[in-house]
Structure 1
Amino acid sequence: MFVRRQRRGGTVAWVAAHLPLTHVATPQESEKHKAMKERIARTASQHGLQVQTEARSEDGKVITDVLVTGAGGSIGWEAQYSPVSASTVRRRSANARALNIAPLWVTGDETSALIDRVPWARVDNVPWQRIASPLTMMIRGGVRHLQIWKCTPVSERTCPEAGHACGRWHSGWFLPALCIPQERATSLDELVVTSADGEHLAVRARNRHDPKRISYLWALARDVRQWQELTGESDSPPESGPDDEPVTYAEQDLDSSCCYGDERHGTSDPRPRREMASAIGLHTFDEARDGTHRQPSRPIQLRLTPRERSVLATQLRCPPWEIGPCMLCAAPIHRYGPRSPLVCTPCRSSSPLP
């Protein structure tokens, strides 16, 4: 039985919970941690970036799993496969920022406490052999794209404010698959390079219903600049988290009855998924400046005539309706159907082992 902080109704309170806070990393988790560090370091080194593993600050207070430095600055990658507390994540990230290191936490756990509390990225939870291999690993969460649309009766999106067409403009951060038109996804190896080069930047987005709730994401630099112009947001330092806020006590009478062995007595629910598939940082405005409507930054649609699709189907030995774009380079491949890959062969082997 443990006591932890939890936000309820806009206030922070102490709650009792059965949580694996004393979890010890298993050998499998340790191997995943080591494989992820090796993969990040290998990718950065192959692209000419400065790499340092287990980088230690001069005072010894900050140790970064993999420190990648490029034209855009220093990125401190933290491979986190074992449970970690929110306070630990915030403290370590604040220490890294004090040294001008942009923290980037990567995890395979969709319930991890680091999600949306610091700049993060989530990949599939696969064995360590898969992490160490040259096969492409896609970012499943933590990287989003800016979407701007006018709310009209013919809009492909519903109004997030009124539920019906309001005639105003809306903007928000969406996952690649939920963008209109659809954007291609980002691979882990690509994020290693683009974050160090400054092509991807970390963003803090507020929840419009709860200003105290802030989510973190990575986005293309051009999207970040446009979002800042629309909303007036800036790269201000992170605000205090729940660990820095005053704690409210419910002052309820203590239940002294013993429930040991009572099967009807339930325990607290496990930690839910933290990341949300819906839009983050929704913003509404009346007028849009020139150039708001633009082509997608990295579209993945295929524009094929029936004749071209038929020829490709013959070459790929698949039905025409199973042809689709590679998620990385948008080349036509046998995308759909049983056991069809998501990326083309050149993209799958773009990061060969040394």
Structure 2
Amino acid sequence: MAKDRTASLIDRAPWVRVDDMPWKEISDGKEMVVRGGYRYLQVWKCVASSDRHCLLSGGAGHCGGTHADWFLPVLCEPEKQLVQIEDLVLASATGESVPVYVPNRGSGRAGRHMWVPADDCQRWRELVGEKTPLPVAPEPEEDDQITFAEQEIDRTCHAGEDGWFVSDARPIRDLGQPTGGYTLPQMPLQRPVKPSLITSVERAAASAALGCPPWELGLCAGCGQMMRRHGRHAGMYCAVCRSELNG
């Protein structure tokens, strides 16, 4: 747990950042809110009406695909509730929140360590495919070691004092930026009517694109396109086949 955005261990291990609260507020039981290091998975359809930019075009347009990325609670759509450090400690013990490492897109070494909801982690694994396990953080290289400047030990107690005591300026490591995300494969335009041929990745992509749970998916009785086949407001034929039948 760090209290500033320049902490050297940020993104070297699962971490969280909290406010630099005065000791009196901590002693009085004030809640410590997680400001960085905890993220939620967001999946969106890359169309003109989307509030998020395209991961492939760098925001210059919309590819029509489906993207997934990790965001801080305040950047989610809709905005997620902030996490308290006490709740995270409990959730990490019960397995409701888990640590993950996701490399930045286009960079083999750089990446993000973060805490995430276990359900979001499972969904991420389904999106990237069962044969593609979640990456493991790379081993640090010789030039990537944590260093320190030897100084005389300060034996003066600074409890209750305001201010940040540091010997040298360090770069900001907690930038709050997305990881670079993942673009789901496009759903096939047409396929044989054989449910056994639907892969887990295609099912996850269709579920995100159609906005329905995976168990409501099925194949159109006409063209074999994946559609919302089960549940309320479902049908046997997709919109294209219905228009052809009615025409």
Specify the TM-score bucket, using the shorter chain as the normaliser: 0.5 to 0.7
* 1:222 maps onto 2:119 in alignment: yes
Paired residue type of 1:192: V
Distance, in Å, in 2 between the alignment partners of 1:235 and 1:167 is 26
* 1:140 maps onto 2:47 in alignment: no
**Structure 2 match to 1:240:** 139
Aligned residue for 2:207, secondary structure, equals coil
Mark the runs of 5 or more structure 2 residues left unpaired by the alignment: 145-167, 187-201, 214-247
> Which structure carries more relative contact order (alpha carbon 8 Å, separation 6+)?
2
* 1:278 maps onto 2:173 in alignment: no
* 1:155 maps onto 2:155 in alignment: no
**Structure 1 match to 2:80:** 183
How big is the shift at 1:192? 0.9
How big is the shift at 1:237? 4.7
How big is the shift at 1:244? 7.7
Paired residue type of 1:271: R
**Structure 1 match to 2:207:** 291
Mark the runs of 5 or more structure 1 residues left unpaired by the alignment: 1-105, 246-268, 296-354
* Deviation sequence 1:222-245 (CA, Å, 0-9, x none): 000010111245356532113388
Paired residue type of 1:242: E
Does the 8 Å contact 2:101/2:136 carry over to 1? Answer: no
Paired residue type of 1:284: T
* 1:121 maps onto 2:121 in alignment: no
How big is the shift at 1:133? 2.7
**Structure 1 match to 2:192:** none
Does the 8 Å contact 1:117/1:214 carry over to 2? Answer: no
How big is the shift at 1:160? 2.3
* Deviation sequence 1:292-351 (CA, Å, 0-9, x none): 3469xxxxxxxxxxxxxxxxxxxxxxxxxxxxxxxxxxxxxxxxxxxxxxxxxxxxxxxx
Does the 8 Å contact 2:14/2:37 carry over to 1? Answer: yes
**Structure 1 match to 2:229:** none
Distance, in Å, in 2 between the alignment partners of 1:234 and 1:243 is 27
* 1:108 maps onto 2:3 in alignment: yes
Distance, in Å, in 2 between the alignment partners of 1:244 and 1:278 is 24
- After TM superposition, the score normalised by the length of structure 1 is 0.44
How big is the shift at 1:217? 0.2
How many equivalent pairs are there? 167
> Whose strand proportion is higher, 1 or 2?
1
- After TM superposition, the score normalised by the length of structure 2 is 0.62
Matches within 5 A, 1:1-354: 106-162=1-57, 163=59, 164-232=61-129, 233-234=132-133, 237-243=136-142, 270-287=169-186, 289=204, 290-292=206-208, 293=211
